[in-house]
A and B are shown apart, each in its own frame.
Chain A
Amino acid sequence: GDSVTQMEGPVTLSEEAFLTINCTYTATGYPSLFWYVQYPGEGLQLLLKATKADDKGSNKGFEATYRKETTSFHLEKGSVQVSDSAVYFCALSHRNRDDKIIFGKGTRLHILP
């Protein structure tokens, strides 16, 4: 079945460092890909999405490119802030199927001032 694999956390970086959180997926067909973020004490929020190969999703300085050849959707940010400390979830879904979204296990990010 479909699955999403994320890098294990926690990831600890200093403020203004470059961030990459790896995400790879296994799926039939052409799924849509998502990154969600969960801040402490809150539910998940959609951060960005991409619906087809080579699409780049972006929001709040974060970017991820849908790479079908490597089945990846890595999250990047050029300069992280303390306020980016959160748990990040990679996810996939099939728009034309009546199936649920598949989430990765999440990657906790700590940004040190």
Chain B
Amino acid sequence: KAGVTQTPRYLIKTRGQQVTLSCSPISGHRSVSWYQQTPGQGLQFLFEYFSETQRNKGNFPGRFSGRQFSNSRSEMNVSTLELGDSALYLCASSLTGSNQPQHFGDGTRLSIL
């Protein structure tokens, strides 16, 4: 059974640009959550999508957005990139919700120059 797949693994962008990250959950999983991981702040919850609807949201500015498709694949978008957005972005999936044990991908490492 394939795990959670995140693409790309690495990205380098410059300030002001925008970026889209992709996450394919484990087959059958309907909930996809996104996290930002940095050395200073640790693991921070961005949002969760379930059946194409955003169900939970963390405390991030509106520049961070996401969506989920009918096949449960999810994308996360960050607009007007700032230096502080440099981080490892992790996606996790579960059968029914972000309160269930999460299955994580290996992340996308985003570096802002």
Q: Interface on A for B, CB 8 Å cutoff?
A: 34, 36, 41-46, 49, 89, 93-95, 97-101, 103-106
Contacts and interface: CB of A to CB of B under 8 A. Distances in A.
A41 B106 contact: yes
B98 A49 contact: no
A44 B89 CA distance: 12
A43 B56 contact: no
A97 B42 contact: no
24 contacts: A43-B4, A43-B90, A43-B92, A43-B105, A44-B43, A44-B102, A45-B104, A46-B103, A93-B99, A95-B99, A95-B100, A97-B99, A98-B56, A98-B99, A99-B56, A99-B99, A100-B33, A100-B45, A100-B48, A100-B58, A103-B42, A103-B43, A103-B45, A106-B42
A73 B102 CA distance: 18
Given A44-B90, A100-B48, A94 B99 contact: yes
Interface of B: 4, 6, 33, 42-43, 45, 48, 55-56, 58, 90, 92, 97-107
- Of the candidates B33, B42, B56, B100, the one having the most CB atoms from chain A within 10 angstroms of its own CB is B42
Contacts of B100: 93, 95
A101 B104 contact: no
Contacts of A93: 98-100
A101 B99 contact: yes
Contacts of B43: 44, 89, 103, 105-106
B98 A101 contact: yes
A44 B99 contact: no
A93 B104 CA distance: 16
Nearest to B56: A100
B107 A43 contact: yes
Given A99-B98, A100-B56, 4 more contacts: A34-B101, A43-B107, A44-B90, A103-B42
